Amino acid sequence: MRKVAVVTGGGRGIGAATTKRLAQDGYAIALSYANDAASAEAIAETLRASGTEIIAVRADVSVERDVMALFDRVDKEWGPLTLLVNNGGITGGMARVDDVKESVLSQVFSVNVIGAFLCCREAVRRMSTQHGGSGGSIVNVSSRAAELGGSHEWVHYAATKGALDTLTKGLAKEVALEGIRVNAVAPGLIETDIHAAAGQFDRVERMASTIPVGRAGQPEEVAECIAWLASPAASYVTGTIVAASGGR
């Protein structure tokens, strides 16, 4: 069966590393972006030049019509989807719970939770044997914050990743007999733009020594876990959250 993947937020950070890693595994890939068309198009162009079938599609995952259009586009380009990587996400910036704005809560939950649900829904509609599909795999990009709590930084963000973990476990059981495996990877402190986007330009440097292995992780190290969870090598793995966190 042809390997066809959607990677949300595939143009930067962990998503970009995942897109590149999946290209090595021979996937046709639709990488989505919300705002940064230049990054997404640049990655698509580079990988296309080396033989990968790839498209960059603008889709805000918190907007249902964008999500529907993204998956419809994949149907038209390549036919049945076999992998969804639910990676696109935001922190909403730092705030204590007694200071968090409703607008931040709405936005973070819309992108990280509702967006992930919508993408899972569209993936299951295409992959499930109950819907005439041939199975597939979903990998959600959670965070160690879900378990650690995000205290003094972003409990709101941590809570969205807790919801994502519950989605992962619940959906895995729901579709286990329909040919779909659902897992999550929980990165720890990874060097990407997400910290600066939250106004925390020195966060990685500041926290690196607190990680048991003594350093922050690289997006490629998370991408390896995602590729493994998606692969037949993980055929008996579902409903699991794999930490890629250097022991954090």
- Lookup: tokens for 42: 């640049």
Within 13 A of 192's CA, how many CA atoms are on the CB side? 26
In the complex, least distance from residue 139 CB atom to ligand NAP, rounded to whole angstroms:
11
When the beta carbons of 4 and 57 are compared against ligand NAP, the nearer one is 57
Q: Pick from 155, 197, 211, 237: which binds ligand NAP (CB under 6 A)?
A: 197
Closer of 10 and 133 to ligand NAP (Cβ):
10
Q: Name which of 108 and 172 has its Cβ closer to ligand NAP.
A: 108
Site for ligand NAP in 112-151 (CB under 6 A): 115, 141, 143
- Can residue 246 be called a binding residue for ligand NAP (CB under 6 A)? no
Rounded-to-integer distance, Cα 136 and Cα 179, Å:
6
Counting contacts by CB under 6 A, is residue 18 touching ligand NAP? no
> Per rule CB under 6 A, is residue 168 in the interface with ligand NAP?
no
The answer to whether 245 touches 144, Cβ cutoff 8 Å, is: yes
> Which residues, including other chains, have CB under 8 Å from residue 166's CB and lie 6 or more apart?
none
Does the annotation count 157 as an active-site position?
Answer: yes
Residues 36-95 that bind ligand NAP (CB under 6 A): 36, 39, 60-62, 87-90
Number of residues that bind ligand NAP (CB under 6 A): 31
Q: Rounded CA gap, 28 and 51, in Å?
A: 10
Chain position carrying tokens 């198009």: 41
Give least dist CB 236 to ligand NAP, A.
25
Nearer to ligand NAP, 148 or 237 (CB): 148
Q: Pick from 4, 6, 7, 14 the residue near ligand NAP by CB under 6 A.
A: 14
Pick 63 or 135: Cβ nearer ligand NAP: 63
d(CA 107, CA 127): 29
User: Which residue in 24, 25, 35, 79 binds ligand NAP (CB under 6 A)?
Assistant: 35
d(CA 119, CA 123): 6
- CA–CA gap between residue 122 and residue 136 (Å, rounded): 12
111's CB contacts (< 8 A; 6+ apart) are: 60, 61, 62, 88, 89, 90
Tokens at 169, concatenated: 């476990």
CA distance 75 to 139: 19
Interacting residues with ligand NAP (CB under 6 A):
8-9, 11-15, 32-36, 39, 60-62, 87-90, 111, 115, 141, 143, 187, 189-190, 192-194, 197
Catalytic residue list: 157
